[in-house]
Amino acid sequence: MRSARPVVGLTCYVEPVTRGPWQDQPSATVPHAYVEKLERAGALVLVVPPRPDADAALALEVLARLDALVIAGGADVDPAHYGQDPHPSVQDPRADRDAMELALAAASAETGTPLLGICRGMQVMAVAAGGLVEQHLPDRVGHDEHLPGDGVYGEHAVTTVAGTRLRRLLGEDTTVPCYHHQSVLTHPGFVASAWAADGTLEAMEDPGAAFRLAVQWHPEMGEDPRLFDALVSGARLHRTGQK
Protein backbone atom coordinates (compact mmCIF):
# COMPACT_ATOMS: atom_id res chain seq x y z
CA MET A 1 0.00 0.00 0.00
CA ARG A 2 1.43 3.38 -0.98
CA SER A 3 2.00 5.99 1.70
CA ALA A 4 -0.60 8.71 2.06
CA ARG A 5 2.22 11.22 1.90
CA PRO A 6 3.32 12.29 -1.58
CA VAL A 7 6.78 11.11 -2.54
CA VAL A 8 9.15 13.98 -3.37
CA GLY A 9 12.54 13.26 -4.90
CA LEU A 10 15.52 15.40 -3.92
CA THR A 11 18.69 15.48 -6.00
CA CYS A 12 22.08 15.33 -4.32
CA TYR A 13 25.85 15.04 -4.65
CA VAL A 14 28.14 12.07 -4.36
CA GLU A 15 30.92 13.47 -2.17
CA PRO A 16 33.75 12.04 -0.05
CA VAL A 17 32.57 12.00 3.57
CA THR A 18 34.57 11.01 6.66
CA ARG A 19 32.77 9.22 9.49
CA GLY A 20 34.88 7.76 12.28
CA PRO A 21 37.34 5.26 10.75
CA TRP A 22 35.81 5.62 7.27
CA GLN A 23 37.90 8.19 5.44
CA ASP A 24 36.64 10.01 2.35
CA GLN A 25 34.00 7.39 1.65
CA PRO A 26 31.93 8.31 -1.46
CA SER A 27 28.48 9.18 -0.10
CA ALA A 28 25.16 10.44 -1.42
CA THR A 29 24.76 13.72 0.42
CA VAL A 30 22.54 16.80 0.50
CA PRO A 31 22.00 19.44 3.22
CA HIS A 32 19.36 18.13 5.61
CA ALA A 33 17.59 21.50 5.61
CA TYR A 34 15.92 20.47 2.34
CA VAL A 35 14.63 17.27 3.90
CA GLU A 36 13.37 19.08 7.01
CA LYS A 37 11.40 21.63 5.01
CA LEU A 38 9.87 19.01 2.72
CA GLU A 39 8.93 16.72 5.61
CA ARG A 40 7.32 19.61 7.48
CA ALA A 41 5.27 20.27 4.35
CA GLY A 42 4.02 16.67 4.45
CA ALA A 43 6.30 14.92 1.96
CA LEU A 44 7.96 11.54 2.07
CA VAL A 45 11.44 12.47 0.83
CA LEU A 46 13.59 10.20 -1.33
CA VAL A 47 17.15 11.20 -2.23
CA VAL A 48 17.91 10.79 -5.94
CA PRO A 49 21.65 10.18 -6.48
CA PRO A 50 23.40 11.48 -9.59
CA ARG A 51 24.41 9.26 -12.49
CA PRO A 52 26.99 10.28 -15.12
CA ASP A 53 25.28 7.95 -17.62
CA ALA A 54 21.80 9.37 -17.07
CA ASP A 55 19.56 9.72 -20.10
CA ALA A 56 15.90 10.33 -20.87
CA ALA A 57 14.94 6.71 -20.25
CA LEU A 58 16.49 6.68 -16.79
CA ALA A 59 14.93 10.03 -15.93
CA LEU A 60 11.47 8.80 -16.92
CA GLU A 61 11.98 5.66 -14.84
CA VAL A 62 12.87 7.76 -11.80
CA LEU A 63 9.97 10.18 -12.26
CA ALA A 64 7.52 7.28 -12.55
CA ARG A 65 8.24 6.62 -8.84
CA LEU A 66 7.83 10.24 -7.71
CA ASP A 67 4.99 12.65 -7.14
CA ALA A 68 7.27 15.72 -7.33
CA LEU A 69 10.94 16.62 -7.59
CA VAL A 70 13.32 19.20 -6.12
CA ILE A 71 16.53 19.96 -8.02
CA ALA A 72 18.76 21.16 -5.21
CA GLY A 73 21.42 23.84 -5.12
CA GLY A 74 25.09 23.15 -5.71
CA ALA A 75 27.99 23.64 -8.09
CA ASP A 76 27.87 25.54 -11.38
CA VAL A 77 26.45 23.83 -14.45
CA ASP A 78 29.19 23.07 -16.97
CA PRO A 79 29.05 25.95 -19.50
CA ALA A 80 29.62 23.43 -22.28
CA HIS A 81 25.94 22.48 -21.84
CA TYR A 82 24.93 25.95 -23.04
CA GLY A 83 27.68 26.34 -25.62
CA GLN A 84 30.09 28.66 -23.79
CA ASP A 85 33.65 28.56 -22.52
CA PRO A 86 33.96 28.78 -18.72
CA HIS A 87 34.56 32.08 -16.92
CA PRO A 88 37.62 31.88 -14.59
CA SER A 89 35.28 31.85 -11.57
CA VAL A 90 33.33 28.77 -12.69
CA GLN A 91 33.66 25.73 -10.45
CA ASP A 92 34.90 22.37 -11.67
CA PRO A 93 32.05 20.58 -13.46
CA ARG A 94 30.09 17.83 -11.78
CA ALA A 95 29.35 15.63 -14.78
CA ASP A 96 27.20 13.20 -12.78
CA ARG A 97 24.87 15.89 -11.42
CA ASP A 98 24.72 17.70 -14.76
CA ALA A 99 23.74 14.54 -16.63
CA MET A 100 21.15 13.39 -14.11
CA GLU A 101 19.53 16.73 -13.39
CA LEU A 102 19.39 17.96 -16.98
CA ALA A 103 17.72 14.67 -17.93
CA LEU A 104 15.25 14.94 -15.04
CA ALA A 105 14.41 18.56 -15.83
CA ALA A 106 13.70 17.73 -19.47
CA ALA A 107 11.72 14.57 -18.69
CA SER A 108 9.61 16.28 -16.01
CA ALA A 109 8.24 18.63 -18.65
CA GLU A 110 7.01 15.56 -20.52
CA THR A 111 5.50 13.84 -17.49
CA GLY A 112 4.04 16.95 -15.83
CA THR A 113 5.79 16.05 -12.57
CA PRO A 114 5.71 19.06 -10.20
CA LEU A 115 9.20 20.53 -10.10
CA LEU A 116 10.92 23.06 -7.84
CA GLY A 117 14.40 24.21 -8.82
CA ILE A 118 16.53 25.85 -6.14
CA CYS A 119 19.57 28.00 -7.03
CA ARG A 120 21.61 25.62 -9.24
CA GLY A 121 18.28 23.87 -9.87
CA MET A 122 16.93 27.02 -11.53
CA GLN A 123 19.98 27.16 -13.78
CA VAL A 124 19.63 23.46 -14.63
CA MET A 125 16.00 23.99 -15.63
CA ALA A 126 16.91 26.94 -17.85
CA VAL A 127 19.78 25.09 -19.54
CA ALA A 128 17.65 21.98 -20.07
CA ALA A 129 15.14 24.21 -21.88
CA GLY A 130 17.85 25.69 -24.12
CA GLY A 131 18.58 28.79 -22.04
CA LEU A 132 21.77 30.60 -21.03
CA VAL A 133 23.43 31.29 -17.67
CA GLU A 134 25.24 34.49 -16.65
CA GLN A 135 28.51 32.96 -15.48
CA HIS A 136 29.68 35.56 -12.96
CA LEU A 137 27.06 37.95 -11.68
CA PRO A 138 29.43 40.43 -9.91
CA ASP A 139 30.89 41.36 -13.31
CA ARG A 140 27.53 42.99 -14.14
CA VAL A 141 26.07 44.11 -10.82
CA GLY A 142 29.36 45.29 -9.26
CA HIS A 143 28.80 43.81 -5.80
CA ASP A 144 28.82 40.52 -3.87
CA GLU A 145 25.42 40.81 -2.17
CA HIS A 146 24.26 37.52 -3.69
CA LEU A 147 27.30 35.65 -2.31
CA PRO A 148 29.00 37.68 0.43
CA GLY A 149 31.64 35.05 1.30
CA ASP A 150 32.51 31.37 1.28
CA GLY A 151 29.89 29.53 3.29
CA VAL A 152 28.04 32.77 4.11
CA TYR A 153 24.48 33.30 2.91
CA GLY A 154 23.42 36.75 1.81
CA GLU A 155 19.98 38.27 2.19
CA HIS A 156 18.10 40.67 -0.04
CA ALA A 157 14.63 41.62 -1.16
CA VAL A 158 12.97 40.30 -4.30
CA THR A 159 9.91 41.65 -6.06
CA THR A 160 7.54 39.17 -7.66
CA VAL A 161 5.88 39.71 -11.03
CA ALA A 162 2.17 40.51 -11.14
CA GLY A 163 -0.03 37.70 -12.44
CA THR A 164 2.43 34.90 -11.65
CA ARG A 165 2.00 31.89 -9.39
CA LEU A 166 4.89 33.20 -7.30
CA ARG A 167 3.07 36.50 -6.69
CA ARG A 168 0.04 34.53 -5.49
CA LEU A 169 2.23 32.41 -3.21
CA LEU A 170 4.54 35.04 -1.72
CA GLY A 171 2.92 38.41 -2.27
CA GLU A 172 4.56 41.41 -3.92
CA ASP A 173 7.85 41.48 -1.97
CA THR A 174 9.80 39.14 0.22
CA THR A 175 13.32 38.89 1.68
CA VAL A 176 15.28 35.78 0.77
CA PRO A 177 18.52 33.98 1.74
CA CYS A 178 20.90 33.63 -1.20
CA TYR A 179 24.22 32.08 -2.15
CA HIS A 180 25.07 32.29 -5.86
CA HIS A 181 27.48 33.99 -8.23
CA GLN A 182 25.54 33.05 -11.38
CA SER A 183 22.04 33.73 -12.66
CA VAL A 184 19.75 32.79 -15.52
CA LEU A 185 19.94 34.99 -18.61
CA THR A 186 17.46 33.30 -20.97
CA HIS A 187 14.76 30.77 -20.13
CA PRO A 188 12.75 29.40 -23.09
CA GLY A 189 9.27 28.25 -22.06
CA PHE A 190 9.44 30.00 -18.69
CA VAL A 191 8.32 33.47 -17.65
CA ALA A 192 10.16 35.68 -15.19
CA SER A 193 8.39 35.70 -11.83
CA ALA A 194 10.74 37.64 -9.50
CA TRP A 195 13.59 40.14 -9.75
CA ALA A 196 16.20 41.63 -7.44
CA ALA A 197 16.68 45.40 -7.39
CA ASP A 198 19.94 45.05 -9.35
CA GLY A 199 18.16 43.40 -12.29
CA THR A 200 19.03 39.80 -11.42
CA LEU A 201 16.37 37.28 -12.35
CA GLU A 202 15.34 35.64 -9.07
CA ALA A 203 12.58 33.25 -10.15
CA MET A 204 10.90 31.77 -13.21
CA GLU A 205 7.92 29.54 -13.83
CA ASP A 206 6.18 27.63 -16.59
CA PRO A 207 2.73 29.24 -17.01
CA GLY A 208 1.40 26.17 -18.80
CA ALA A 209 2.36 23.64 -16.12
CA ALA A 210 0.52 22.63 -12.99
CA PHE A 211 3.65 23.36 -10.92
CA ARG A 212 7.01 24.05 -12.56
CA LEU A 213 8.82 26.81 -10.73
CA ALA A 214 12.38 27.79 -9.87
CA VAL A 215 13.99 30.30 -7.52
CA GLN A 216 17.55 31.58 -7.45
CA TRP A 217 17.57 31.82 -3.67
CA HIS A 218 17.71 29.14 -0.95
CA PRO A 219 14.28 28.79 0.71
CA GLU A 220 15.51 25.76 2.67
CA MET A 221 17.72 28.13 4.68
CA GLY A 222 14.90 30.49 5.60
CA GLU A 223 11.81 30.29 7.77
CA ASP A 224 9.18 30.74 5.04
CA PRO A 225 7.61 27.33 4.20
CA ARG A 226 5.28 28.49 1.44
CA LEU A 227 7.26 27.25 -1.57
CA PHE A 228 7.62 23.78 -0.06
CA ASP A 229 3.98 23.73 1.01
CA ALA A 230 2.93 24.63 -2.54
CA LEU A 231 5.15 21.96 -4.09
CA VAL A 232 3.80 19.26 -1.80
CA SER A 233 0.22 20.36 -2.52
CA GLY A 234 1.03 20.06 -6.20
CA ALA A 235 2.51 16.62 -5.58
CA ARG A 236 -0.72 15.47 -3.94
CA LEU A 237 -2.72 16.60 -6.98
CA HIS A 238 -0.27 14.99 -9.39
CA ARG A 239 -0.47 11.75 -7.41
CA THR A 240 -4.23 11.58 -7.91
CA GLY A 241 -4.12 12.70 -11.53
CA GLN A 242 -5.61 16.14 -10.82
CA LYS A 243 -4.41 19.47 -12.19
Q: Which active-site residues does the annotation give?
A: 119, 218, 220
What's the CA gap between 74 and 95, in Å, rounded?
A: 13
Say if residues 31 and 218 touch (Cβ distance below 8 Å). Answer: no
Largest Cα separation within the chain, whole Å, is: 55
The per-residue DSSP string of 143-174 comes to: S-TT--BTTB-EEEEEEEPTTSHHHHHH-SEE
What's the CA gap between 183 and 147, in Å, rounded?
A: 12
> Helices (H), strands (E): how many in the chain?
7, 13
